[in-house]
Structure 1
């Protein structure tokens, strides 16, 4: 039978690589009846879809209202008010202005200055893990560690992490989560409004306190062409940073630790040769990236991979598929920790390349460094066939993973 991408298939969700290999070879631009969208698995075609913004727009939310039941449109409108502040869903020139502003605040130098703080958070989280005893790694480490980091840089108390993340998860039901949640519009709107209240409180506390060069302070005081951001613009940006800096990093950490456990020889080599860890982590991001796909909307009738794409069609660029394209990566299904060059697109490509990627990589690198220094063995207790993966078109990683650290 011809290959078909079905996001509800648990087996595909767990391991999509064999299906994506068939699609790349037989139908690199594939129509998914379940999603009523095009699926792109080829590296070159993925690059086109991610970089030709005049044809494939990032403003994929703009035509949703006519498709939504009338009783849900009020929720959608309120939710879109906040999402319109996200540069993730904007094209140039609006995207360029937003990115220029944020690039002055979120850049490698700023992230490097956070390395000491990130290390202290990692030490604290690892210290709470009992040696030689099973631990649910996602909930005990991979999820809270980057959560604490992003809450700290946004000026929100850590004890509000679970509450804030719960509201964020409700928003993600709309953005890229389960397609089967009947109340996702209502929950996403309520989640956005609750997060907005939390962030307004953080902004008010920050304004009453001292000035500084932390991320929240820089957001409040930043100017572009003499104009400061409004409070709602700051809140919308904080929402985007929370979602981008938390889930993506948590999945990157989970996937990397899972690979280290599955390849003890690689873990030992990196323990003995720490200088190789940076290159190795880039390969692990390619091999099992934290983002499944990026969505686009056809802004006009076009052609991609020999298929006629109509204006208004939705396209999902499968990053994890492009990262195993044999025309770009030799032996793509092999984990080669010395792979170079390694032009993977684990964090996207083009003008929408993830601005927080340096922070995510820093957190993964420091996690691996501390993990290999502190522990000699990493064992996975959850059989691969029992591991539950996120039901999402965005997030790519296990929902839970029991491991033992010796």
Structure 2
């Protein structure tokens, strides 16, 4: 049976049925990703496509893959990825080292700088006029806080914003040559920072980037390739995802003045509100795995070596995991929310991201009276991005 997202799947799998169950890049899917993923979750919850391999749409199946890292490996990329693309035992010492950069003490110490950046950006918004919240607020905030966190100069703000856009375009097009060139471009920015710090020696700034140059794993110093991979993972995730989150939350509040008013009165409810908003509208659409051995999931047989895509944007809207799944509610069990993943690869920077989002929205709500939508103004981002490519809002 044809649908806007694909076909109802054949439980015999691609070898005994159609070659592909759906097309993730079809116009119907890209026009409304969340509706398409909701449909797939109900009609073909484990679906095959040429673009994504096997896609898992149900919360139960995604959680199973997250918790079974021996069957569903994170080593899904052809390129080294430290430690995201590693499995135990290789993953364990790198993960242990990385977690030291996201302790509660580090997050608390960084909060005043985040707040100063957010406050400055809010002050620069034109009140009473249409404001392009992505390019004028969300993107600059994401770039500035990431550079501040890592100790990178302001001269990288512009190049990094351009790099994120180029990377998203090349990923969507599956243009491997462009993706390779873009990766090298980003590596060049990082290597430049590493070379400057090595040249400075003991006079190098006391920041996270310098600290990584002095780190060891299993008694061996990190080489530049490993540091570049770590910083690439941190920065790509931070820039695209934080900016998307800011746009998603601002749009949600703009459409709900009563919720805005409630949060202005009781700002302590802001953090769970943000998590719930981002459960409904995922800032990160999907993540990859690869099967290490034959496995059956959702009635489909997946062979060893096949690619698997975890569709966060569907799993967190699963009616089997959340009562009234499409409704905004502040009384949900937060442990079911897969916003930051689960298992050994759960996002190490979750506490940092939560603080950054809380702070920027606290400042936006505290220093404005009203956030209102511009009818027909927003343009949704398309896969692999989420959120909004542009989002005009009226700030007063």
**Which of 310, 321, 327 is matched with 1:328 structurally?**
321
1:311 aligns with 2:307: no
Report the secondary structure of 1:336's partner residue.
coil
> Is the 1:85–1:236 Cα contact (8 Å) retained in structure 2?
yes
Report matched runs for 1:7-406 at 5 Å: 7-33=24-50, 35=51, 37-62=53-78, 80=79, 84-171=80-167, 177-181=171-175, 183-204=177-198, 207-209=201-203, 212=206, 214-341=207-334, 343-381=336-374, 383=376, 387-392=379-384, 395-406=385-396
Q: Structure 1: which 5+ runs fail to align?
A: 63-79
Partners of 1:98 and 1:249 in 2: CA distance: 24
After superposition, the C-alpha distances for 1:54-107 in whole angstroms (9 at most, x for unaligned) are 211111124xxxxxxxxxxxxxxxxx3xxx142111111111111101111222
Moved more, 114-123 or 192-201: 192-201
Aligned residues: 379
Paired position in structure 2 for 1:69: none
- Dislocated runs of 4+, deviation >6 Å: none
Contact (CA 8 Å) 1:252, 1:364: kept in 2 or not?
yes
Question: TM-score scaled to structure 2, two decimals?
Answer: 0.88
Shift of 1:14: 4.8
Q: CA deviation at 1:135?
A: 1.3
When residues 203 and 234 of structure 1 are mapped into structure 2, their CA distance, relative to the original with a 3 A threshold, is farther
Unaligned runs of 5+ in 2: 7-21
How far apart are the structure 2 equivalents of 1:144 and 1:362? 17
Aligned to 2:16: none
What's the TM-score, normalizing by structure 1? 0.86
**Secondary structure of 1:88's partner?**
coil
C-alpha distance in 2 between matches for 1:185 and 1:19: 27
